[in-house]
């Protein structure tokens, strides 16, 4: 839709499919990125600032998946690209989803390596 300078094309939120979103969030790398964005202040962030242990081209792939799933907005600015969560739009379309996934993931992380039972 939007064709602002450097803005990469994204689907209208109304066209975004829940299955596509769940698939996008199913991947650990992508979920980590989204989690990182959610815990931020909503400001734009450099794509290069995410510590993903994967090749450049693979990263490009994941950003595309997240973009096409309606989760992020991406902008090309000279030598780098920047992303921003489509927070409000997304919440309006899929109320609570981001919060729930975030909360669960946060618990998972804080609970990692503290298993008394075994």
18's contact among a second copy, DNA, none, with CB below 5 to 8 A by partner kind, is: a second copy
Token representation of residue 64: 């595309």
> According to CB under 7 A, which one of 37, 74, 86, 98 is a site residue for DNA?
74
Among residues 77 and 92, whose Cβ is nearest to a second copy? 92
CA 20 – CA 5 distance, rounded (Å): 27
By the rule CB under 7 A, 2 interacts with DNA: no
Instruction: Show the DSSP H helices in the chain as ranges.
Output: 18-26, 28-38, 56-68, 87-93, 97-111
Question: What is the per-residue binding string for DNA in 15-54, x denoting contact by CB under 7 A?
Answer: --------x--xx-x----------------xxx-----x
């Amino acid at each position: 839709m939007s064709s602002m300078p450097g803005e990469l094309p994204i689907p209208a939120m109304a066209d975004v499919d829940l299955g596509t979103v769940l698939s996008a969030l199913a991947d650990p790398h992508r979920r980590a990125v989204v989690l990182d964005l959610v815990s931020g202040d909503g400001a734009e962030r450099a794509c290069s600032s995410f510590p993903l242990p994967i090749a450049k081209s693979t990263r490009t792939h994941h950003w595309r998946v997240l973009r096409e799933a309606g989760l992020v907005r991406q902008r090309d600015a000279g030598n780098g690209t920047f992303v921003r969560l489509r927070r409000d739009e997304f919440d309006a379309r899929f109320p609570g989803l981001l919060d729930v996934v975030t909360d669960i993931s946060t618990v998972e992380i804080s609970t990692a390596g503290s298993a008394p039972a075994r």
